[in-house]
Chain A
Amino acid sequence: MNLYFRPKLLQSRLTSVFRSATTVSEVVQNEQVDIDDTENSLAREAEIEKKRNISRLSAAHYNVINGRRPYKEPMALPHLTVKYNRKMYGKYGAASGVNPNICWPSKLDIEEKQEYEAVAYPFTIKEMMTMVAEKREQERLKTQQRDNEIAAKFAKLGQWKKELKEKIAKKEAEVEAAKLKKERLIEEVRRHFGFTLDPRDERFQEMLAKREKEQKKREKQARLEAREKLMIAKLQQKKVEGVSE
């Protein structure tokens, strides 16, 4: 197995292995320091406190655990930000040493916020209310218009139904009349020949055409006569009128 110990790692491991030995040497050093500051009881107290701290926490963590801000002076770039300082004030109060006036937005912040709000909230509540009222009114008008249309159409419905029925009946009657006429013609042709002939037969067709022709002729004659009669009647009337005058 290839193992590579970095010198730093090795050092730390060694110190952890020989912890008891190093603490002993430290104590020797500290005793020397104590001797230097024998008059200053405060410093001594501090020293004792330091020795009592066997938590092995880093200074920052030790501070946090004891309800103090972790760093007195900024250690990284984020520690210079307003957000971080606000947090320090919010969490550790006046003891954090932060001036609380950074808790409020600056002039620039306010301007930015107002600009944002002008875009995000373009309408006031009143304006929105009127807009909604207008929309509702338009919807109502639209439904009402449609209702009116339907009511007007419904009023005419009976008449329309009647008209439609009449139209259908008329058409049916016409069809029936045409059918009857045709049947009559066929019957006549059959009578002429004296036996039932296939309507597709040539002779039948010929006869039919002839009959139809005759029929048309007769009709025409009838029309002419009718017109003549009418004319005569008119003339007579005129004569009568002339006499009376």
Chain B
Amino acid sequence: MGSRQITEKALTMLRSLPRVSLGNIRDNPGYKKNPKRGRGQHGGDKHGAGNKGSGQRQNYMRLGYETGNNPFYLRMPHEHYYKGHHLRRQYPPFSLHELQLIIDKDRLDISKPIDIASIVKSGMYNFTPDEKHFGINLTDVGADCFAAKINIEVQWASEQVIAAIEKMGGVITTAYYDPHSLYLLRDPKKFFESGQSIPRRMIPPPDAIEYYTSAKSRGYLADPEEISKDRLRLAQKYGYELHVLEDDPNYEMLCERKDPRQIFYGLEPGWVINLKDQCILKPKDSELQRFFAS
């Protein structure tokens, strides 16, 4: 169809249409006014609350009330062992099998000490400190096929896991981090870009102190001598020959531990890390130094 035809058609259409007259034009906006004047904010309507009943009166029933039914929250029997579950520390599990997997896939550098930051960086593990997650619980799934010599720091580990790692000549430490430090470890880049100085790691709460100070759980606050004794005990219990750390070529790496106040390997509290300028700023003020050393 040519453009001429379209024009023709439009013109014929226009000719057939009635002429614009007073009878077929719309009123000017605001010409007519509603003769009724409703009272109240929205002209006397129901303010979006609906018609009739508890909805309109906005006397909502108490939470969980089901208008006379046996309420859902009371239908189940009381289970006391869940008491305070919303306040307890949680350690989302990460198995030795998965750890072996990320090592085999070269997502984790085992020539350096491993901590929660490096495991999160591998992309195979994540946690949310605001859901009371306090770090990794390294579980013994795949303990039999675990074959890597590592220096690892987790937040919770069972005896079997400790034995599996020490059997391979590795070292394991269980360390507590307060939620704020865990946020930093989960996303160090975000923290460094916020331009704050690295804070100190806080001490564990009273109900966790026993775990983190005992040599049996390889706590980071335990006596190193006790730990070396317990290493031998565990080796005898599980029947493997204990590797002598002092003779190891990677002795330096295997013996690297964080200070109880330290969050990142190699970085001390009080330092400011600038990623743009690739520089570290250290405080010189004595008061600041004292604060960050305390």
Q: How far is it, in angstroms, between the C-alpha of A242 and the C-alpha of B275 when the chains are bound?
A: 126
Known interface pairs A90-B195, A128-B206; A107-B272 also in contact (CB < 8 Å): no
Chain B residues near A123 (CB-CB < 8 A): 206
Contact of A103 among B204, B272, B276, B285 (CB under 8 A): B272
Q: Are B209 and A132 in contact (CB under 8 A)?
A: yes
Is B255 positioned at the interface, with any CB of A under 8 Å from its CB?
Answer: no
Contact of A129 among B195, B209, B272, B275 (CB under 8 A): B209
Known interface pairs A100-B272, A104-B288, A128-B206; A94-B195 also in contact (CB < 8 Å): no
Q: How far is it, in angstroms, between the C-alpha of A48 and the C-alpha of B266 when the chains are bound?
A: 48
Q: Are B195 and A132 in contact (CB under 8 A)?
A: no
Chain A residues near B270 (CB-CB < 8 A): 104
Is A121 positioned at the interface, with any CB of B under 8 Å from its CB?
Answer: yes
Chain B residues near A85 (CB-CB < 8 A): 195
Chain B residues near A88 (CB-CB < 8 A): 195
Q: Chain A 65-105 against B: per-residue CB contact (8 Å), 1 yes, 0 no? A: 00000000000000000010111111111110010100111
Q: Are A110 and B291 in contact (CB under 8 A)?
A: yes
The chain B residue sitting closest to A122, CB to CB, is: B206
Q: How far is it, in angstroms, between the C-alpha of A94 and the C-alpha of B213 when the chains are bound?
A: 43
CB distance from A222 to the nearest CB of B (A): 70
Known interface pairs A100-B272, A104-B283; A131-B195 also in contact (CB < 8 Å): no
Is A159 positioned at the interface, with any CB of B under 8 Å from its CB?
Answer: no
List which A99-149 residues lie within 8 A (CB) of chain B. 100, 103-105, 107, 110, 113-114, 117, 121, 123-125, 128-129, 131-132
Q: Are A91 and B193 in contact (CB under 8 A)?
A: yes
Q: How far is it, in angstroms, between the C-alpha of A143 and the C-alpha of B288 when the chains are bound?
A: 50
Chain B residues near A113 (CB-CB < 8 A): 291
Mostly, the B contact residues are loop
Chain B residues near A98 (CB-CB < 8 A): 195
Is B118 positioned at the interface, with any CB of A under 8 Å from its CB?
Answer: no
Chain B residues near A32 (CB-CB < 8 A): none
Contact of B274 among A4, A90, A107, A124 (CB under 8 A): A90
Q: Chain A 56-68 against B: per-residue CB contact (8 Å), 1 yes, 0 no? A: 0000000000000
Is B227 positioned at the interface, with any CB of A under 8 Å from its CB?
Answer: no
Q: How far is it, in angstroms, between the C-alpha of A222 and the C-alpha of B246 when the chains are bound?
A: 102
List which B252-294 residues lie within 8 A (CB) of chain A. 270, 272, 274-277, 281, 283, 285, 287-288, 291
The chain B residue sitting closest to A132, CB to CB, is: B210
Known interface pairs A86-B196, A90-B194; A100-B276 also in contact (CB < 8 Å): no
Q: How far is it, in angstroms, between the C-alpha of A89 and the C-alpha of B274 when the chains are bound?
A: 8
The chain B residue sitting closest to A94, CB to CB, is: B277
List which A23-46 residues lie within 8 A (CB) of chain B. none
Q: Are B193 and A129 in contact (CB under 8 A)?
A: no
Q: Are A103 and B277 in contact (CB under 8 A)?
A: no
Q: How far is it, in angstroms, between the C-alpha of A93 and the C-alpha of B277 when the chains are bound?
A: 6
Q: Are A4 and B29 in contact (CB under 8 A)?
A: yes
Chain A residues near B196 (CB-CB < 8 A): 86, 90, 103
Q: Are B203 and A103 in contact (CB under 8 A)?
A: no
Q: Chain B 199-235 against A: per-residue CB contact (8 Å), 1 yes, 0 no? A: 0001110100110010000000100000000000000
Q: Are B197 and A105 in contact (CB under 8 A)?
A: yes
The chain A residue sitting closest to B260, CB to CB, is: A125
The chain A residue sitting closest to B28, CB to CB, is: A2
Is B91 positioned at the interface, with any CB of A under 8 Å from its CB?
Answer: no
Chain B residues near A86 (CB-CB < 8 A): 194-196
Q: How far is it, in angstroms, between the C-alpha of A86 and the C-alpha of B203 when the chains are bound?
A: 27
Q: How far is it, in angstroms, between the C-alpha of A86 and the C-alpha of B193 when the chains are bound?
A: 9
CB distance from B248 to the nearest CB of A (A): 30
Q: How far is it, in angstroms, between the C-alpha of A98 and the C-alpha of B274 when the chains are bound?
A: 13
Q: How far is it, in angstroms, between the C-alpha of A132 and the C-alpha of B219 when the chains are bound?
A: 15
The chain B residue sitting closest to A111, CB to CB, is: B291
The chain A residue sitting closest to B281, CB to CB, is: A100
Q: Are B272 and A104 in contact (CB under 8 A)?
A: yes
CB distance from A69 to the nearest CB of B (A): 11
Q: Chain A 201-222 against B: per-residue CB contact (8 Å), 1 yes, 0 no? A: 0000000000000000000000
Chain B residues near A4 (CB-CB < 8 A): 29
The chain B residue sitting closest to A85, CB to CB, is: B195
CB distance from B105 to the nearest CB of A (A): 32
Contact of B193 among A2, A90, A100, A104 (CB under 8 A): A90
Q: How far is it, in angstroms, between the C-alpha of A93 and the C-alpha of B210 when the chains are bound?
A: 43
Known interface pairs A87-B194, A103-B281, A125-B209; A93-B288 also in contact (CB < 8 Å): no
Is B192 positioned at the interface, with any CB of A under 8 Å from its CB?
Answer: yes
Residue of B193, B204, B206, B283 with most chain A CB atoms under a 10 A cut-off: B206
Q: What would 7 A/B residue contacts be, using CB atoms closer than 8 Å?
A: A83-B194, A92-B276, A94-B277, A103-B281, A104-B285, A105-B291, A114-B291
Q: Which residues of B contact A (CB under 8 A)?
A: 29, 192-197, 202-204, 206, 209-210, 213, 221, 270, 272, 274-277, 281, 283, 285, 287-288, 291
Given contacts A93-B274, A123-B206, A132-B210, 8 further A-B contacts (CB under 8 A): A87-B193, A90-B274, A103-B196, A114-B291, A125-B203, A125-B213, A125-B221, A131-B206
